[in-house]
Amino acid sequence: MTVHMPDLRRIGIVGMGYVGLTLAAAMARKGYEVHGVDTDPLVLESLSRGEPHIFEPGVAEAFTELINERIFVGKELPDGGVDAAIICVSTPVDERTHEPRLKNLAAAAEHVADRCAATTLVVVRSTVPVGASRSVVLPVLTEKWGTARLVMAPERTIQGQALRELVELPQVVGGLDEESRDLGVRLFGGLAAQVVPVSTLETAELVKLTNNCHTDVIYSFGNEVAMLTERLGLDPLEVIRATNLDYPRPDIAKPGYVGGGCLSKDPYIMLTSGERVGYVPKLIAAARTLNEETPVHVAHRMVELMAEHGARTLTVLGWAYKGHPPTDDMRGTPIAAMMPVFSEAGIKVLGHDPLVKARVIREYGGEPVDLAEGFQADAVLVITDHPDYKAIDVDEVLAGGNVKVVYDSWRILDAARITAHGVHYAGLGFEVRA
């Protein structure tokens, strides 16, 4: 029997969020014909004009150049199907129970089954619990087609560098069977410099979870050190610098906030994967708890410092979940956990972010201001290490102002220059004491 092997040049991407959007741009740059699908009419309208709804360096340029030439968008996959359909829909976790919600994944599989055929290679790109590609996606396809070609190829990029990393990072591909895996290797071999085939769908699923949970654990250790130094009256950055300097074992991370679309949910997906087979990953659970407690701890300390110095208005610099590389992504942003603390204390919060829109700052409870206005408040909390904030001239913004407290979460400002203005300076795990 002759097996039909598609040429894998006509690609469908179901879900045009961050993962699907960046993949569409990268694959179109490599010469693929890309058909992006989304259920949000506003997203489709924006993309059809060549205007991405999410900030990521290089993506806007790709869409402006290639929309309606190699990139096409719509609410359905094209008539006649595609050679490969890549599922990139969101897989959120329940805010209360932290259980993964896989309705989007199932709906995407249904759409692919309706619009394509058994010759189509189906790729799960979304982050899922171990076993979900086989238990959620595969039955939908086989019920419609009888057989299916299915792979799991996890997305592993960092925001701000996605287009580069999609090409340079190894692409992991696990298949339902050898034929599926070989097709997946061919597909991603046309995108990336290196493809890593693994034996099963489940192996590839666990690779993604392992990557992100390890990152969460690494960052949590820096925060653990900061919780200690704050109480011991020491400087966590001095401790960490001395710990790392010319020492051959893995570097300790600086303390900081740990959010984003992946790190704020993937540990819970890993926990679910473990619990379903009778094991609770204890280290992962503890790391996630500590990283989620960190912004709440800072918010309470900020309230205490403001009370000590008679401050009532607070400017928050940085509303996205991170500042470097810059992003406008609000998923897992520290401010979401902080605002209830500030509201309960009756603090008026002003907000600034170089990329986050004013309407989004308002949605989270802040009043948008420019940088100059922000330094007219009684206190300033720097949440992200955005390059614009690193470039702040402390003497200029503090001269003649009302600022009494600066909490510099990432320690990107000059503490000596700040305290020279009579302003109290603090950071994660550290305060300048009189």
User: E-strand spans in 183-251?
Assistant: 195-198
Q: What is the pLDDT of residues 123-153, one digit of tens each?
A: 999 999 999 999 999 999 999 999 999 999 9
- The yes-or-no verdict on residue 3 having pLDDT over 70 is no
Residue 1 has pLDDT above 50, yes or no: no
What pLDDT sits at residue 401? 83
pLDDT at 246: 96
Other C-beta atoms closer than 10 Å to the C-beta of 427 total 25
The average pLDDT across 54-78 equals 96
pLDDT band at 395 (very low <50, low <70, confident <90, very high): very high
Q: How far apart are alpha carbons 186 and 8 in whole angstroms? A: 8
Give the neighbor-by-neighbor strand order of the sheet with 348-352. 367-368, 348-352, 313-317, 379-382, 405-408, 424-427, 430-431
Choice among 3-12, 279-288, 410-419 with the minimum mean pLDDT: 3-12
Summarize the confidence of residues 30-49 as an average pLDDT.
96
pLDDT value at residue 433:
83
CB of 88 within 8 A of CB of 23? Answer: yes
Report field, pTM of the whole predicted structure over 0.85: yes
Yes or no: say if 230 and 429 are a contact pair by the CB < 8 Å rule: yes
Please give the average per-residue pLDDT across 322-349, as a whole number: 96
Q: Can you list the domains of the chain with their CATH numbers? A: 10-201 (3.40.50.720), 214-434 (3.40.50.720)
Residues 246-265 pLDDT 10s: 999 889 999 999 999 999 99
What's the pLDDT band for 434 if we cut at 50, 70, 90? Answer: low
Separation of CA 186 from chain center: 28
The answer to whether 415 and 426 have CB atoms below 8 angstroms apart is no
**At which residue do the structure tokens 């402006």 appear?**
64
Find the distance separating the first CA and the last CA of the chain, reported in whole Å: 82
On the question of pLDDT at 67 being above 60, the answer is: yes
Q: What tens digit of pLDDT does each residue of 348-361 get?
A: 999 999 999 999 99
Classified as helix, coil or strand, 84 is strand
Residues 6+ apart with CB under 8 A from 99: 93, 268, 272
Average pLDDT rounded to a whole number, residues 388-397: 96
Quote the pLDDT of residue 2.
45
Given a contact cutoff of 8 angstroms between Cβ atoms, the answer to whether 384 and 410 are in contact is yes
Task: Please determine, for residue 4, whether its predicted confidence score (pLDDT) is greater than 80.
Answer: no
Q: Which two tokens stand for residue 225?
A: 């050190």
Give the strand order in the sheet containing 195-198: 71-74, 33-37, 10-14, 84-87, 121-124, 149-152, 171-175, 195-198
What is the average pLDDT value for the chain, to the nearest integer? 96
